[in-house]
Amino acid sequence: MNSNPSDSSNSSVLVVDDEPGMRTALQANFLRHGWRVETASGVRDAERACELKSYDLVVSDIHMRDGDGFEVMCSVQKTSPTTAVILLTAFGSVPQAVESMRSGAFDYLTKPVSFEQLQAAAARVIQRMNEAPAGNKLAKKIADQSVVNCGIVGRSPLLLQTLQRARAAASTDADVLIEAESGTGKELLAKFIHQNSNRRGKPFVAVNCAAVPEYLLESELFGHAKGAFTGANAAKAGKFELANGGTLLLDEIGEMPLNLQPKLLRILQEREFERLGETRSIHVNIRIIATTNASLAAMVEQGRFRNDLYYRLNVIPLSIPGLRERLEDIPALARHFAENFATELDCTVPEIAPSFIEKLQAYNWPGNIRELANFMRRVLSLHQGVVIDASCFDKEIQPLGRPQPAQPAMPAPGMPISVLEKMHLENTLALAHGNRTHAAEMLGISLRTMRNKIREYGLPPRRFA
């Protein structure tokens, strides 16, 4: 094994292409960089070669006369699971790129092949070999880097699988859709992808589609010209323009109004748009990451989200496990939050007793990591200078529960529907301790609808965070 991550002197590669000229060019490029190279003229030839020996890397064209590169990759995965596969796909073929990543390719490159990009990908393969001869060191490095780079804490298998898939996505420019429960860290995962991509030095711009009023969202996203509408006293660049060269995060994409979705679809397809009040098209080079805590596929079935936009966003789908699925990460998360909040509160980092961790791991955490973070802040605020143990948990966990009201208001016969709806809304908000996001989830409505209902029934907005 090489100690130098860029040293390929002991590394082997199988080049698979049915075009003799391309095969020779790829072979010469790898030889020039010190690789031990063998070639195959097609799928069957490659399968025979992989049965006889294993390689550190296989580089295969997708379209060949006797089959395709996915067959090669399948054969490699069966005979040598640690071998990395780089697929070469036709220029601009997004579906093939998506299929490559979903099938387990280490990377994909478009034709005509850039030898500089090919060697950069090959160098990453060598680095992976040096860091993870049995796979464990790679997982450890991903976990450690996630803590340093973007605040993701944990080493559970499910989380590491997510991070490995996210890192693979980061090596491409494909758009990403993250579907996960509230509080799991979708924005952190989006930042992880951005920071591990070649756009890391460019802007990372986030916009919460649920937090911006509907009448302002179009201007917020696309910008506007001076005088485009009442109050537009100066031209303004939108989020798409501000993210040029980098990554745009569309948080809670399911909240985007239907009338704006065709415009977003055009940007995804053409990477161009116009500011409100202008006819000049603005071209942008951006990577889009969308997140949602709802099932967009279900919203498509319900007619609440465009199916063409869904399929265009869902190039590389990612999910994040809920905290109840990664209980082994809770001790590290608890210590992480304890250290952070101790600094914030200017107090000593407390000792955390095993009994406290046991209580944390026995709780369901419906609000996921966000709920755990808020709980740890409360515990450190109210129990400074003591050992944090099970009694601290028992004293402070109740406010995070979902207690039923002692005597909920009961509807009277003949009561108008609007009054019933208002009562139900108030009761649900009380159950959620005024948290509009949790209340919306309990009612099965969007956060935007929840805000509109609070406004419609004249409920004091300051009571509901």
* Same-domain pairing of 313 and 424: no
Q: pLDDT tens digits for 219-277? A: 889 988 887 777 778 888 889 999 999 999 999 999 999 999 999 999 998 899 888 88
The CATH number covering residue 56 comes to 3.40.50.2300
Tens of pLDDT along the chain (465 residues) come to: 344 445 565 688 999 999 998 999 999 999 988 898 999 999 989 988 887 777 889 999 988 888 888 888 877 876 676 788 888 876 555 555 565 565 567 888 887 888 888 888 888 888 777 765 444 444 444 444 433 346 788 878 888 888 888 888 888 889 999 999 989 999 999 999 998 888 988 999 999 998 888 888 888 899 888 877 777 788 888 899 999 999 999 999 999 999 999 999 999 988 998 888 888 889 999 999 999 998 999 999 999 999 999 999 999 999 999 999 999 889 889 988 998 898 888 888 888 999 999 999 999 998 899 999 999 999 999 998 889 999 999 988 854 444 444 444 455 556 666 677 777 788 778 777 677 777 777 776 777 778 878 877 777 654 444
State the DSSP H helix or E strand holding residue 247, giving kind and residue range, or none if neither: strand 247-251
Is 406 contained in some domain? no
Whether residues 237 and 260 share a domain: the answer is yes
Residue 411 falls inside a structural domain: no
Domain span at 457: 417-463
Cβ contact 38:12 at 8 Å: yes
For residues 163 and 310, state if they share a domain.
yes
| Sign of the alpha-carbon torsion through 220, 225, 230, 233 | positive
Q: Does residue 304 share a domain with residue 209?
A: yes
Element (DSSP H or E) covering residue 423: helix 417-431
Domain count, the chain: 4
**Can you say how many angstroms the Cα of residue 169 is from the centroid of all Cα atoms in its chain?**
9
**Residues 374, 295 share a domain:** no
**192 and 71 assigned to the same domain:** no
Q: Are 173 and 185 members of one domain?
A: yes
- 292 and 152 within one domain: yes
- The CATH number of the domain where 445 resides is what? 1.10.10.60
Same domain, 328 and 381: yes
3-state secondary structure of 387: coil
Q: Which residues contact 249 (CB under 8 A, 6 or more apart)?
A: 187, 190, 204, 205, 206, 207, 289, 290, 291
Q: How far apart are the C-alpha atoms of 162 and 177, rounded to whole Å? A: 13
CA distance linking residue 318 with residue 295, whole number of Å: 12
Q: Give the CATH number, domain containing residue 390.
A: 1.10.8.60
Q: Looking at residue 276, which CATH number applies to its domain?
A: 3.40.50.300
Are the beta carbons of 338 and 371 closer than 8 angstroms? no
Instruction: Answer yes or no: do 162 and 291 share one domain.
Output: yes
pLDDT tens for residues 355-402?
999 999 999 998 899 999 999 999 999 998 889 999 999 988 854 444
Nearest to 174 by CA among 198, 154, 206, 150: 198
For the whole prediction, is pTM greater than 0.75? no
Together in a domain, 315 and 362: no
Q: Among 348, 373, 400, identify where a domain stops.
A: 400
**Distance separating alpha carbons of residues 99 and 107, to the nearest angstrom:** 11
If asked whether residues 302 and 327 sit together in one domain, one would say no
Is residue 174 one of the residues assigned to a domain?
yes
